[in-house]
Structure 1
Amino acid sequence: MKKLVFLASLLFFTFSSIAQDRLTGETFTTRSEILARKGMAATSQPLATQAALDILKKGGSAMDAAIAANAVLGLVEPASCGIGGDIFAIVWDAKEGKLYGFNGSGRAPQSLNIDYFMEQGMKYVPFTGPLPVTVPGCVDGWFALHEKFGKLPMKELLQPAIQYGREGFPVSEVIAYEMVSNYEYVQDQPGFKKTYMPEGYIPRKGEVFKNPDLANTYDKIAKGGRDAFYKGDIAKTIDSYMKAHGGFLSYEDMAGHTSNWVEPLSINYRGYDIWELPPNGQGTAALQILNILEGYDIASMGFGSAEYLHVLTEAKKLAYEDRAKFYADPAFNKIPISDLLSDGYASERRKLIDMSKAADTYPAGDLEIETGNTTYLTVADKDGNMVSLIQSIYSEFASGMVPDGLGFVLQNRGQMFNVQDRNHANALQPGKRPFHTIIPAFITKDGKPHTSFGLMGGAVQPQGHAQIVVNIVDFGMNLQEAGDAPRMRHSGSSQPTGSVMTNGGTLNLESGFDYKTVRELRKKGHRIGTRVGIYGGYQAIGVDLENRVYTGASESRKDGQAAGY
């Protein structure tokens, strides 16, 4: 008997030491929100967060801090982001009381068209190698955003990343896992091993990794400006590298690159204005999902209920069919945005949902049209300016192509082009921007800033954005709870590349949902999946204007950190 009592006591102690009940808030929350008054930064890696805070403390603006953090992330999180990729942002200008939208995505090479793939019998653009490489828009984005919203010199903003590149940094846990899990697909691409496997293997958690080539590239950019990247030796190196390895991206493509300021799109969801960027990104899908959901009493359904997850999934399916048909580069297409976001259209789409049964397929909307890895960060400063910024090279390690001596991988965003149907809105054309998955988001209420947030992870982003908004607005969660809450990710919708959803796709549910809910969803015809690591990575900053307090959140799925001062 004494032995049984001892074992029972030991078992209780063991479970008690593994996890403690939180004193406040939802049980699934990993930590409290971060509160501060003068500034806040939330990124997917603590070194980047600290770099942003250091810039804020030196008197830098929110944009200055965001650029510094992004540069560090390009070094410490190389499988997800970097200056070989693109950038998007939504910026709250406190002085003007206005939101600005920014599209810093690159275009397809002028010498590459859909005929090349059709003649080769290729139905899709490959993920790796030279063919999916488009012009990297990140650096031009930094300078355009800095010109409008920056204070400190670019040289000072890039110095933390330059120093870490030369002295080295310890690789953090989740990033190490992502690197080790994904390098095999690209390790034989020219230049990859020299940069990312200098010792013959991918660096592991806790190992100190250096990238002096990237540090030197950053230094050239800091001294020579954006033209050092697009018209100088860096562009010439990229040009000669691509020619040597069968690529199409040229010096002329680099030199001709431009970014664009765009008007953010919004819908009102139960009194909150939700803001996204227009296509060629997929932010419109998040707004479409929310428009459909507003017709239901979501709060009464309850978080994690089968009823809520069912209607959320069906709304996602409907929005993603429109995403596959309509979302593309607006310079090449007239996109019916106002129709897609209208209340009347949402009402018509909502009628297609059967609350008792999952649909195998939905039609895309009959509207007139003329012919996913990432890092997200958000920063707020003492003057009330807020930046919602997302930057990516697309899939893990992207194309795998690392130009000689530059220290970064070129993005593979061109993989998203449709090369099967030349009449498709997202069909490859010279100089065209591909459909993009990365989307920053922002919430205002009564014309004032409320929350800057984003969620990384390819196709999960619009459905993730919708879940964050619902968690905050309908379920009353705070910013940390809204991100830590278990999420769903439906996969299998029709894609802008040309593939089509069949058999309803798969509803993947993160751990944390009740099994009774899983049973009920299966009864409705949902195919349930349990994949891990596909639910995105969220950061957010909220603002309490009455008390002049910022709230920061960084979820537990990444190595991230929210911190303020």
Structure 2
Amino acid sequence: PVHPKVAKDWAGAVDKLRLGGSHDFLPGGAAPKSGDMFRLPALAATLKKIARDGSRGFYEGSVAADIVATLRARGGLHTEEDFFNGRTVAEFVDPITLSWHGHDVWQCPPNGQGLLVLMLLGMLEGYGDAPDGPMGVTRIHRHLEAARLAYRDRDTFLADPSLADVPVEKLLDRKYLGDLRKLIRDDRAMSTLPDAGSASPVHADTVYLCVVDKDGNACSFINSLFQGFGSGILAPNAGVMLQNRGFGFRYERGHRNCIAGNKRPLHTIIPGMVTQNGRAVMPYGVMGGHYQPVGQSWFLDNFLRYGMDIQEAIDSPRIFGYQGPIEAERGFPASVTNGLRALGHNVQEAAGPHGGGQAIYIDHARGVLVGGSDPRKDGLALGY
């Protein structure tokens, strides 16, 4: 059955699905309504094939052939050999980490943007508790300004590390992060930003889940087509909706993240993990495209610094601005939004919620798991 939140998003993607020829997703020519039963037998068959044959069930044979034929019919230059070679592109990587408030926070390395979570936490670490509280103007202003600096560096440096130099060590250097923090003034927003990599004065269609088993093994998992329904192009026989992650590339020649063959774009999806004394204590994640680093750092600050319980830390109102106005969810009082405007922030009410989060806290001392699930989405915390 189709969930109300999914039905709302589906209705907003009808034109894309029609242009993409994805008629299987528009039964009777319209998006399914809340409560409708929706089936994808072709996709079910593909998933069974993958379960039986592993990655070969996707990257070779009939599924790959259908995807290639679909793309070539639209002018693509893809070949089945490209898909076969794709099996060798995926790799195990070493995560990156930052120690913060007695915990170790772990992220996937570039080409993903998890680096920004660690940068934001590193910048914010030098502050004590905000004088006007966790939902006051000061803390929110500092977080917004730190995000402007972190995203500035992301858009300059993040790319496929196998083809470009991504200066992870410099960007996580405590002195560098401390120097960035010194650029942030509590009395006004920065009118301009220094060049990327400098601290000299001069700013979604994702699914996340986490699981902890009886032995304390924890998994933090995220997947996304990028925009809603990805490209909107369906490989009909395989039932596979094709993503549009290439959106993360740049067209600027010479840029680290410029589009090229056999290259991975900047990636927004970032599963998170927190450990303490070598043990997993919390798999967590926040969906929402570009918002994810801000959302994760906001959640961790709520939970680890300000002592909110896990659900309260997820529910807390969110605010975000990237290449445009600052968009505040409705939960902020006028005194806060007006206070931010007085500091120079262009604050507007967000048209919808920012992202959605999930987390499981492993309370080793009491031997219990504490789950939190975001009401902005259709997930839930479920024990078994």
Does the pair score TM above 0.5?
Answer: yes
CA contact (8 A) 1:231 1:255 kept: yes
Contact 1:374 1:391 (C-alpha < 8 Å) held by counterparts: yes
Partner secondary structure for residue 248 of structure 1 = coil
Q: Distance in 1 between matches of 2:249 and 2:80?
A: 22
Unaligned residue ranges in structure 1 (runs of 5+): 1-169, 493-504
1:463 alignment partner, SS class? helix
* Equivalent residue number for residue 44 of structure 2: 215
Q: Which residue does the alignment assign to 1:178?
A: 9
Contact 2:209 2:222 in 1 (8 A): yes
Alignment partner for residue 562 of structure 1, among 367, 381, 384? 381
Aligned to 1:416: 248
What is the CA–CA distance in structure 2 between the aligned matches of 1:561 and 1:354, rounded to whole Å? 39
Structure 1 position 330 matched with structure 2 position 184: no
| Cα distance, 1:448 vs structure 2 | 1.9
**1:373 corresponds to 2:192:** no
Which position in structure 2 is the counterpart of 1:396? Answer: 228
Aligned equivalents of 1:559, 1:457: Cα separation in 2: 14
Deviation at 1:300, TM superposition (A): 4.2
Q: Deviation digits for residues 337-373 of structure 1, max 9, x if unmatched?
A: 0110011001111121121111233134337xxxx42
Q: Which residue of 2 aligns with 1:277?
A: 108
> Which whole-Å deviations, capped at 9, do the CAs of 1:239-288 have from their partners, x for residues lacking one?
12211111133211110013111111111122221111111000101111
- Higher Cα radius of gyration: 1
Equivalent in the alignment of 1:294: 125
Q: What whole-Å deviation, never above 9, does each CA across 1:158-204 have from its counterpart, x for those lacking one?
A: xxxxxxxxxxxx101111111111232332213x01x1012211101
CA distance in structure 2 between the partners assigned to 1:558 and 1:523 by the alignment: 32
Question: Which one-letter code corresponds to 1:177 in the other structure?
Answer: K
How far the C-alpha of 1:517 sits from its partner, in A, is: 1.2
Matched, 1:470 2:301: yes
Distance 1:229 1:318 in 2: 40
Q: Which residue of 1 aligns with 2:201?
A: none
Separation (CA, whole Å) in 1 of partners of 2:180 and 2:340: 21
Give the TM-score normalised by structure 2: 0.95
Q: Which residue of 2 aligns with 1:164?
A: none
* Comparing 352-361 and 303-312, the one that deviates more: 352-361
Unaligned runs of 5+ in 2: 199-203
CA 361–406 in structure 1, closer or farther in 2 if over 3 Å, else same: farther
Q: Take 1:436 and 1:523, find their aligned partners in 2: how far apart are those partners?
A: 34
Identical aligned pairs, as a percentage?
38
Distance 1:517 1:224 in 2: 55
Q: How does 1:240-389 map to 2 (within 5 A)?
A: 240-257=69-86, 258-366=89-197, 372-389=204-221
> Are 2:352 and 1:533 equivalent residues in the alignment?
yes
**SS at the partner of 1:187?**
helix
> Which of 273, 276, 300 matches 1:445?
276
Q: Distance in 2 between matches of 1:359 and 1:483?
A: 28
What's the CA shift for 1:219? 2.1
With over 3 angstroms needed to count, the CA separation of the structure-2 counterparts of 1:280 and 1:178, relative to structure 1, is same
Separation of aligned partners in 2, 1:556 and 1:547: 27
AA matched with 2:94: E
Give the alignment's Cα RMSD to 1 decimal.
Answer: 1.4
Equivalent-residue separation in structure 2 for 1:339 and 1:179 (angstroms):
42
CA contact (8 A) 2:231 2:242 kept: yes
Contact 1:460–1:534 (Cα < 8 Å) also in 2: no
Q: Distance in 2 between matches of 1:219 and 1:366?
A: 47
Q: CA deviation at 1:453?
A: 0.4
User: Does the CA contact (< 8 Å) of 1:238 and 1:250 recur in 2?
Assistant: no
Aligned length: 377
Q: Counterpart of 2:206 in structure 1: which amino acid?
A: T
2:54 matched residue in structure 1: 225
Supply the AA of the counterpart residue of 2:56: D
Aligned equivalent of 1:546: 365
Contact 2:330 2:350 in 1 (8 A): no
TM-score, L = length of structure 1: 0.65
CA contact (8 A) 2:14 2:30 kept: no
The 1:237/1:185 distance shift into structure 2, 3 A limit, reads closer
Task: Report the residue type matching 1:445 in the other structure.
Answer: Q
